[in-house]
Amino acid sequence: MTTSPAAKLKEAAPDNALQDSIAILDFGSQFSQLIARRIREINVYSELIPYSTSAAELKRLNPKGIILSGGPNSCYEEHAPQLDPEVWKLGIPVLGVCYGMQLMSRDLGGHVQLSEVREYGRALFTIVHHGKLFAGLDPAIESWMSHGDSVTELPEGFQTIGRTADTPVAAMADETRNFYGVQFHPEVVHTRGGKQVIANFVRDICGCSQSWTMAKYIEESIAEIKRRCGDRRVLLALSGGVDSSTLAFLLHQAIGDNLTCMFIDQGFMRKNEPEWLVETFEKNFNIPVHFVKARERFIGKLAGVIDPEEKRKKIGAEFIRVFEEESRRLGPFDFLAQGTLYPDVIESAGTRVDPKTGKTVAVKIKSHHNVGGLPDDLKFELVEPFAKLFKDEVRVLGREIGVPEGIIERHPFPGPGLAIRVLGEVTKERLKTLREADWIIREEIKAHGLYRQVWQVFGVLLPTLSVGVMGDQRTYQNQIVIRAITSEDGMTADWARLPYDLLSVISSRIVNEVPGINRVVYDVTSKPPATIEWE
């Protein structure tokens, strides 16, 4: 029987009968996950579930409040995603954001139509009535808008509580039923006071207790791991990243020597990282690591491969083969531990809306690298303690249980590693070139005290050559791109405004110290429209 998206998400959620929570119905906004993060930041648990979730299912989940996310559709279109009308009868506070506000207005008897003036980006929002939702906010705030439709007629029982110069009804409320709508996006950092709006709704209107704490989560996770695993053996594929490394520490605290960590060196790590990883775990923390040397196998599989998705698939397939061989040799094991995060669970649930048809469709930007596709006779049970957490929450957890700062502060690194930062064909020579250039970039960022101020910084080796002059001679050599971005969680990102003097030092060092490079460029593209990685 196929598991529904809501059920998949429920598997990663705590028992809501024991904990206050907010349900976020996802209508396809690129910011939906940010709403969940903002709620977590005030120590309240939140779930992001499909807009098609029925009122009966919501009643079973027992949230203290509901938030309707934004989305790319117009609510009056033929295929626009709809809300189960029974939701309005649950007696639960509801906050509609952007599309969610428009849907609320239309469903409850108001009117929505295409605006004469569309609002995208920053807009000055004036509060007409503070009430509970806007308590503590200034009379006017800078807000972030992204809409072409507007509410032109309020439903019965509602009043206008905010406006902008171009949108007379930019926020509305029926305070008797605790129904609220805001046309702006309070979840994004561009909305000043947006976190306060969300806190007011969650804490004061919904009455949620702020009981979602990392200390409690760790205590419950260790108890659950002990209960499930007992004296049986657990295998963890260690990548050296924040997620798998923190998971190794958590599992080791819970089950000790019943944990086996396997690190597969596929040759795509950054300079000196495989050696540093093993030394850190084994010598400093007495966590044994089974080190698998497999560089030749992986590089051989990528001969002639240029397409990034094909790279990911070939690396993933070879990883599974190596993993299978080694796990059979070291086993048997009863459990496979993975650092699956909450965004992975959300994406696997397939809850995105096609703006043309209004249908829920599966959207894949790139392949994930968690272990999957293992042979049926390797009958592991999965252990995924982080399936409720966002990336930054894993860092908080790591600090709580004593994971070294060198691991906690490590920038996110893709599963396929440098193989997808070497654009075009991956060879030993091109990997070495990128590895040396990337080392210089990160070394200088750290030396200038900026490593913790950026979310990620790395080098990309382009598949093109450019003309240069070195020693009065013409050169035709490779180019390195510096990619540095700022972000709170990787869902959206902006390019980092690194000092020109620093960029100059990095460029000079790369050109002078890395053979075959004669040009260094800087990526000044945000996400969206670009992704953080180039492949």
How far apart, in whole angstroms, are the C-alpha atoms of residue 266 and residue 294?
5
Q: Is residue 257 classed exposed, middle or buried when 0-12, 13-18 and 19+ CB atoms within 10 A define those classes?
A: exposed
| Helices 214-229/242-255 angle, 10° precision | 60
What is the helix (H) or strand (E) element at residue 336, kind and residue range? strand 335-337
Report which residue type is found at 517: I
Question: Which residues, including other chains, have CB under 8 Å from residue 483's CB and lie 6 or more apart?
Answer: 456, 457, 458, 459, 460, 523, 532, 534
Instruction: List, in sequence order, every residue forming a beta bridge with 23; answer none if it has no partner.
Output: 47, 66
pLDDT at 11: 46
Catalytic residue (choose from 185, 384, 393, 436) = 185
For every residue of 157-220, DSSP letters joined together read T-EEEEE-SS-S-SEEEETTTTEEEESS-TTSTTSTTHHHHHHIIIIIIS-------HHHHHHH
Helix segments in 265-404, DSSP class H: 273-279, 285, 295-301, 308-330, 342-348, 391-400
Tokens representing residue 114 in the block? 């295409």
Catalytic residue (choose from 47, 119, 147, 187) = 187
pLDDT at 90: 96
User: Which has the closest alpha carbon to 522: 463, 469, 479?
Assistant: 479
Sheet arrangement for strand 159-163: 45-50, 21-26, 65-68, 94-97, 179-182, 171-174, 159-163, 111-127, 140-153
How far apart, in whole angstroms, are the C-alpha atoms of residue 392 and residue 388?
12
Catalytic residue (choose from 98, 206, 229, 261) = 98
pLDDT at 364: 44
Cβ atoms of 291 and 238 within 8 Å: the answer is: no
Annotated catalytic, 185? yes
How far apart, in whole angstroms, are the C-alpha atoms of residue 381 and residue 285?
27
User: Which stretches of the chain drop beneath a pLDDT of 70?
Assistant: 1-18, 117, 347-378, 489, 491
pLDDT at 445: 97
pLDDT at 331: 85
pLDDT at 369: 46
pLDDT at 526: 92
How far apart, in whole angstroms, are the C-alpha atoms of residue 315 and residue 298?
7
Annotated catalytic, 187? yes
